[in-house]
Amino acid sequence: MEAFLSRYGANDNGIKSVVNSFGPKVLREWVRNLGIETFVGTSGRVFPVDMKAAPLLRAWVRRLRNSGVNFYVRHRWHGWNDAGELRFVTPQDERVIATDAVVLALGGGSWPRLGSDGAWTTLLAQRGIPVETLRPANCGFDVGWSEYFETHFAGHPVKSVTVTHADASGRMHCQQGDLLVTRTGLEGGLIYALSAPLRDEIAKTGAAVIYLDLAPGRDLSRVVSELTHQRDSRSLTNRLRSRLNIKGVKAALLREALPALDLVNPERLAGAIKSLPIRLIAPRPLGEAISSAGGVTFEALDERLMVREMPGMFCAGEMLDWEAPTGGYLLTACFASGRTAGLGALAYLGCENLSRR
């Protein structure tokens, strides 16, 4: 659990205690009680046995309906009226609803086409609730490729590389996997895992540099030896391909990032193969990101996730100010914060008998 919680950042901004109260093991038990069995894959991630999320969602909604929950679709929340009642705009008209307690779980701003556009940030800020600006998380980054590289290699995967980056605190991040070249830059799991420090460094200094090891299975001395083999009179392209298995997009990355003189210098070329600097100049827009950082600050909430200045209103999910890598961390924190806010609402309403269940 300690390793799991570490993926939510070095500082405990409030989300770690929430996740600790409803962590992965308890979440799997909750899923099992809905009739869905799960298993742990080779990656360490948890999946439904049938590899489908829809049956879980249907079982969950069915339980909620049987418990007396009413769903109102195509209702967009537009804040409060002067009496403090909730305003909803529907396809037919505007509805006003008085409430005893409210749990807002409105998502971040990274899926605007599906409704998560972050419009709620303005509504809460107008009420004086501290909200950190929403920023892209688990996102790709712009590099500024040459026209030739963009035209010929956008969409190509870069297989089996190691990415290294030193964040602002001096901590080294190093991970092996795959990348994807895009029209504007790079994306993929390795980049997403580093998106928070990369994004923050770009915001402070205007750029961030990552280093790619294009031959992670070979040390530097061996790469130099392969490049300086005296009996090999073949072209550089052929030597890279036959001796180091560097071809296609990997070879193109070397030509894209290195001066021509370095390409014909075996020591410099070998150094670049083991540590190729790639300068990132901007994160992709929020609307393209997998998730978002920023949101309602934990300082504005009590331990039950109730807004201190608005008793009876609770916040949960990705609208809170936290972020984490993909791979289950996002879902787990959303489930956990939803449970915390729900129990908080029951306690606020005096339903202690229900909050203990």
Q: What is the pLDDT along the chain (357 residues), one digit of tens a residue?
A: 998 999 898 666 799 999 999 999 999 999 999 999 999 999 888 999 999 999 999 999 999 999 999 999 999 999 999 999 999 999 999 999 999 999 999 999 998 988 889 999 999 999 999 999 999 999 999 999 999 999 999 999 999 999 999 988 888 989 999 999 999 999 999 999 999 999 999 999 999 999 999 999 899 999 998 888 755 566 778 888 888 999 999 999 999 999 999 998 989 999 999 999 999 999 999 999 999 999 999 999 999 999 999 999 999 999 999 999 988 899 999 999 999 999 999 999 998 666 544
Fold of 2-33+72-137+289-355: FAD/NAD(P)-binding domain (3.50.50)
Contact (Cβ atoms closer than 8 angstroms) between residue 312 and residue 306: yes
Q: Give φ, ψ of 327 to 5 degrees.
A: 110, 25
144: DSSP letter:
-
Inter-helix orientation angle 329-348/24-33, to 10°: 80
Q: Domain residue spans in the chain?
A: 2-33+72-137+289-355, 141-283
CA distances from 212 to 55, 162, 216, 249, 278 (A): 41, 6, 9, 13, 8
And the tokens for 17?
């205690």
Q: What is the pTM of this model?
A: 0.90
